[in-house]
Each structure stands twice: as C-alpha cells, then as structure tokens.
Chains A and B, each alone.
Chain A
Amino acid sequence: MQLRTEPYVLDMGPVHPSTHGVFRMRVTLDGEAVLNLEPVFGYLHRGVEKLAEERAYSGVIPLTDRLDYVASMTNNLAYVLAVEKLAEIKVPERAEYLRVIMSELQRISAHLVSIGSFTNDSGCYFTPFLYMYREREKIVDLFDMVCGQRLLYNYMRIGGVSQDIPDEFLPALRKVVKHLPGRINEYDRLLSENEIFLARTKGVGILPKETAINIGASGPVLRSTGIEWDIRKKDPYSIYDRFDFDIPTGEAGDCYDRYYVRLQEMRQSIRIVEQALKQIPSGPVKADVPQLIRPPVGEAYGHVEGPTGEVGFHVVSDGGIAPYRCHIRAPSLMNLTGLYDMSVGWKVQDLIVIFGSFAITMGEIDR
C-alpha cells in the first residue's frame, strides 16, 4: 500500500523558546526534514534609524544600547566612532584604553551569553547556560561599577567616555581577568569533547567560504569558514593596533566551528584586556566637546568588530544638531541571509541548533 505524504508548513515563532526574541521562521517540513525556510522579521521594529534623526548627536547613544542589547558597549563605540570621524574629534589616551577594555569585556560577556544559549538550544538543560551567566555576572558587575547600569550601559560619549573608572575598578578587573581563563578552559573541557554535543554540531549547517563572503557575513560566522577577517586587525579603530592578539578561525564553517571560534575569541579578549591593563595611562577621559555638536556637512562610516560581527554606523550630517541620516549596519541581519543555505535538508532540531549558532539578537535585526 502506498501511503500519501505531503509537506506541511510550521510557523516557528514569533513566540518560540529558541528564536532569541521575536523572530519567525516559516518552515516547510517533510516529516522532520526542512524543505524550505522563509525568515520573517519586524516584530521588534522600533524605527531606531528614524528616531535618531530627531535627536541631538549625543542623544542617539542610548538608542544604540537598545540595538544588540547583549553588546551595548560595542554598539556605543561604533556610533561614537562614526560621529568622531565626522566631526574630527580627538579622543584622550585614557579614554581610548577604557573603550578597548570595555569593548573586550563586552565581547567576552556577549560570547558567554551566545555560547550559553547555543548549548541550551542544543538541549543541555540550562547547566552550561547558567555557568556562562555566572561568569557574565562578574563582568556585568564591573560595568555596573563604571556606569551604574547592568544591561544598557550608555557609557561611551562623543570624545571619550562618560566618566572615569572608580578606584576599586582596576583591582576588581584584575581579579576577573585572573579568574576567567580557568573557567573558560573548564567550559572548553565540558563542551568541546562532549560526544553528543559533537554529534549535534560537527558538520551541521555548513556555510561555504564563498557564500559567507557573498552574503556579507561577518564576525564568528565569517571566521568559522576559515577567513581571517577581523576589523580590529584589518582596519584597526581606536588603539587596537597597539595590542598583540590572534584571530581564531575555524575550518569547516559548521556550528561547532562557530561555537569554538567564540570560545577562543574570549581568550584573545582576555589577552587584550591584560595588555591594556598594563599600559593604561592616567589623564582626562573626555575631550572638550560641547553637549550639542554641529559636525560639518558630510558623511562618515564608523565600524567596529562587535561580538556578532561588523557593527557599522553610517552617519550623514547636514550641519545641524541632529544626524540627517543614521543608518545601522546590523551584522546579524546579513548573517541570517545564509540561514536558508545552511538549514535546508537538515532536521527541525538541527535548524534550532543552526539558528542558535548565529547568536542573533532581534533588537539589532529589526532595529
């Protein structure tokens, strides 16, 4: 007897435990296998780009916090870099070091969150997730110390940072930096050789090198395919050219490589923080910049290597007090272009793991 089968459509999201916010995938399934996939965005669209046109240049910084809300510091930095390029503002030395330290701590904390939620997606029942959050907590405490906020820091300012670090910050940071590598090694041992974890992630969701470049992927998604492309090295902003660090890359471009690149990047970030701690000078932390600046007419693109990829701000000025246009390059939006190529043919379970390996934040994609 011939049984009749037919594919069916499953709407995953916008309310679903593993869509990291309000993302929706219209998935066509044949049994468990994914035949087609159509991403649907927009459930968290707040019109940040339009809102930015109504605000003074310094008033846009809190908006950038709310883009990738697990990596506020790097978003802040990308925006202020663009405005400083536009207005040709020189940043004091100490502020540059603080920016680098904060960005790298932010990268560690964001990678901890993404590895944690990735393991959760692959079915570890919250254990690695909460371990990661335990370490993230220490970094968040540090941020709390410098800016009084635990999620949306609003720390960077045009021409520097909002305030100098308190006296107890550097000892606390040294303690965290000393303590973190051991913990990262522990998680490496816990996850990287776990037989089931390997079976679920190795060879799953492969993104070929050429496709990765073509879809404009960046960050760990791009580096996992074996391309050494890191804005910190290739187009050093701030003072990244003074530090010695490596760019970890993967080979296959599968889910495991994306996870492992993140894990290794945390080690490199610790290296950068350690060097910055040795070199940090004293002095002012903010250039003498008025609250209302009027950059000359023109446009500038400022970009940083955020935890998910290249975060860029394209700021256009018409000489007024507010940006005429402020376009945001959201790395996750570009990375997600490859979701179809990576997940078609795999099972629903793999789709969740592949999607989790992007470590997206909807605040950044929908803006």
Chain B
Amino acid sequence: MTTSLSTWEVSKQISEHVPGAISETTDAAIVVNGESLLNVAAFLKNTAGLDFDYLTTITAVDYYQYFEVVYLFVSMEHNHSLVLKARCHTRDNPTLPSLVSLWRSADHQEREIYDLMGITFEGHPNMKRIVLWPEFQGHPQRKDYL
C-alpha cells in the first residue's frame, strides 16, 4: 500500500532547508511559493528518506482567484506519496518554474498545462502548444474561456 506521508512532518523538513517556501500546509497537501518550487522539488527528490523519484501526475486547477498546480510525487523505493501544490495569483501571464530538469515526466504534462491552462513554465526546453495548433488563441481549460 502506498502510504501518504504526513504533510506536517515533511513541511517541517522543507522549511528547515528552504526557509520561507511553505505558504500553507493542510492534511492533504503542502502549498509552496512559486519561486521556491524548484528548490523544494529538488529537496524532495534528493533527500534520503524522502527519495521522490517518480512524478506521477501534474494537474492545474483554475479557482478564478488563482491557479493551483498539483504535483503528485511517489517514491518507488519507500512506496510513499506526497501532494505538493503551487499557486499563481495572476491571470494575465502566470508563471511557475519548470520541473523538467528534475523529472522528465513533467515535459509533456507542463506543455499540456501551458496549452490548455495558460501557465508558462520557466526553464522548460520546449514550451510550445501540444494538443492545439500554434496559432490558437486562448486557453480553453480555463473556467472563463468561452
């Protein structure tokens, strides 16, 4: 059984190594600042005991006030999982750091989020539309897209 790690303990570890990264912690997930997302992710991947080597899925949710990007990490070695969230509070040109340098599984998923939700991932080597054609205007997965 894949165990969900206690978010409180992990967030304590994170705030020790990357101070000021955590903006909120709930029972289900840890919400981090967009700027320190890459550092937190690298910490999660490279810390012994956590070893999150597998990025299962990335979801972007549009809550009108902000975009929330949900990362689900799994460690194959310890068989535990963790949900990490990052938020973008602007609708015009939301940006987050890309995780492709750590997990290549983020490659296609971040492109898809950029395409459908309009969140730009900085540092992604190939930030282009993936399912829609390049001339397409707008981002259809947003709640205000008509």
Nearest Cβ in chain A — how far from B121, in angstroms? 15
Q: How far is the CA of A316 from the CA of B112 in the complex (A)?
A: 18
Is the beta-carbon distance between A299 and B108 smaller than 8 angstroms? no
Cβ of A235 < 8 Å from any Cβ of B?
A: yes
Question: Which chain A residues border B43 with CB–CB below 8 Å?
Answer: none
A21 within 8 A of B: no
The reply to whether B104 and A42 contact each other, CB–CB distance below 8 Å, is no
Contact status A49-B141, CB under 8 Å? yes
Chain B residues closer than 8 Å to A333, beta-carbon distance = 108-109, 112
* Interface membership of A336, Cβ < 8 A: yes
B18 on the interface (CB 8 Å rule)? no
Q: Are B72 and A336 within 8 A (Cβ)?
A: no
Report the stretch among A167-175, A177-185, A324-332, A350-358 that lies at the interface: A324-332
Contact residue among B1, B62, B108 (Cβ-Cβ distance under 8 Å from A336): B108
Given the known inter-chain contacts A42-B133, A337-B107, please indicate yes or no for A216 contacting B140, CB distance below 8 A: no
Chain B interface size range: 20 to 34
Question: Are B79 and A314 in touch, CB under 8 angstroms?
Answer: no
Q: Is the CB of B76 within 8 A of A229?
A: yes
Give the chain A neighbours of B107 by CB distance below 8 A. Answer: 215, 337
User: Once the chains are docked, how many angstroms separate the CA of A235 from the CA of B131?
Assistant: 31
Interface size class of A (residues with CB under 8 A): 35 or more
Whether B133 and A310, one on each chain, are in contact in the complex, defined by CB atoms closer than 8 angstroms, is no
Residue A41, interface by CB 8 Å? yes
Interface positions of A from 200 to 237, Cβ below 8 Å from B = 211, 213-217, 227, 229, 234-236
Chain A residues within 8 Å of B70, by CB = 299, 314
Give min CB distance, B10 to chain A, whole Å: 17
Q: List B residues 99-133 near A (Cβ within 8 Å).
A: 103-105, 107-109, 112, 116, 129-133
Would you call A104 an interface residue if the criterion is a C-beta within 8 Å of the partner chain's C-beta atoms? Answer: no
Identify 5 new A-B residue pairs, CB closer than 8 A, beyond the known A213-B53, A329-B56: A49-B116, A214-B105, A216-B56, A301-B83, A314-B59
